[in-house]
Amino acid sequence: MKFYYKDAIRFISKLSTRKLWNAVLLLTSYYITRYTSKAIQWGLPMTVSFEPTTACNLRCPECPSGLRAFSRPTGNLKQDFFRKSLDELGSQLMYLIFYFQGEPYINPDFLDMVQYASQKKIYTITSTNGHFLNDDNARRTVESGLDRLIISVDGTTQEVYEQYRKEGNLQKVLEGAANIVKWKKQLNSASPHVIFQFLVVKPNEHQIPEVYRMADEIGVDEVKLKTAQVYDYIRGNPLIPENEKYSRYRKNPEATL
Ligand code: SF4
């Protein structure tokens, strides 16, 4: 496995005695609770996840945002709530995750919030479908101090890409990644660490070698292969890959369905 030392150094450089001590307290209370069966909680969260928005421009078939099928309240994260939370928790946080369901860049305040976290020396991570990385947003992303940028690239041809990323445009994603790489160079910035995340599904599993080649050509730092979760798997699902190495599901030879 490749070690990305620049990314690791950036993470370590943002640690402090307070953060480390908080992590020790949390882990100690976790193990005491586990072995004594008495609930003890010391310390504050060492990481937190914020969802910048529930909205998305794409329509991925296994995502509540893509299906427009939330059973919980939807909308954009409010910046004042975010800042207040960070003022309370920030000095203990080792890293902050800026995504869940929804496309973070749809929230117009997203990069301002990243910048606020960066100013507090918190390691920040986001994940995007890569459709909003125009030149201006790419420059602002690098300037915001974002540490890790995961870009979903689930196919190396438009035909295959759009089978899962419905309504997506692969060319736009690749241009967006190139914009980030360009601005990192222009601003002489080592961050963000850019990752192509390839969600392996049956229609794209044959393109895995090609995504590594594309990443190399653009100057992306890392490629990560990810297994897909599908909701309807009992009778099989056309998205489940043939190669079981890339699947969360195993065929049951004794199944009667
Ligand atoms: S791009 Fe991400 S948030 Fe948007 S529909 Fe697809 S999986 Fe959901």
Residue nearest to atom 1 of ligand 1 (CA): 129
**Is 237 within the bounds of a domain?**
no
User: Within 6 Å (CB) of ligand 1, which residues are found?
Assistant: 56, 58, 60, 63, 65-66, 101-103, 129
Tens of each residue's pLDDT in the chain, 257 residues: 688 999 999 999 999 999 999 999 999 999 999 999 999 999 999 999 999 999 999 999 888 999 898 999 999 999 999 999 999 999 999 999 999 999 999 999 999 999 999 999 999 999 999 999 999 999 999 999 999 999 999 999 999 999 889 999 999 999 999 999 999 999 999 999 999 999 998 889 999 999 999 999 999 999 999 988 777 776 677 778 888 888 887 777 666 55
146 and 180 co-located in one domain: yes
**Can you give the three-state secondary structure of 90-113, one letter per residue?**
HHHCCEEECCCCCCHHHCCCHHHH
CATH number where 175 lies = 3.20.20.70
**Is 238 within the bounds of a domain?**
no
Kindly compute the dihedral angle of the four CA atoms of residues 135, 138, 142, 147, in this order, to the nearest 10 degrees. Answer: -170
What is the distance between the alpha carbons of residues 145 and 124, in angstroms, rounded to a whole number?
8
Count of domains forming the chain: 2
34 and 60 co-located in one domain: no
33 and 150 co-located in one domain: no
Say whether 151 sits in a helix, a strand or coil. strand
What is the distance between the alpha carbons of residues 166 and 238, in angstroms, rounded to a whole number?
15
Question: What predicted TM-score, i.e. pTM, was given to this entire model?
Answer: 0.92
**Is 109 within the bounds of a domain?**
yes
**Is 102 within the bounds of a domain?**
yes
**Is 171 within the bounds of a domain?**
yes
Contact 230, 63 (CB under 8 A): no
Contact 166, 131 (CB under 8 A): no
What is the distance between the alpha carbons of residues 225 and 229, in angstroms, rounded to a whole number?
13
Mutate to test the pocket of ligand 1, among 65, 67, 198, 230 (most ligand atoms within 8 A of CB): 65
Give the model's pLDDT for residue 255.
Answer: 63
25 and 134 co-located in one domain: no
Structural domain boundaries, residue 24: 17-44
37 and 145 co-located in one domain: no
Which ligand 1 atom is at minimum distance from the Cα of 103? 3
Give the model's pLDDT for residue 254.
Answer: 66
Which ligand 1 atom is at minimum distance from the Cα of 63? 8
32 and 124 co-located in one domain: no
37 and 78 co-located in one domain: no
Ligand 1 centroid distance, CA of 77 (Å): 17
DSSP secondary structure letters along 36-105? H------S--SEEE--SBS--SS--TT-HHHHT--SS--SBPPHHHHHHHHHHHGGG-SEEE--SSS-GG
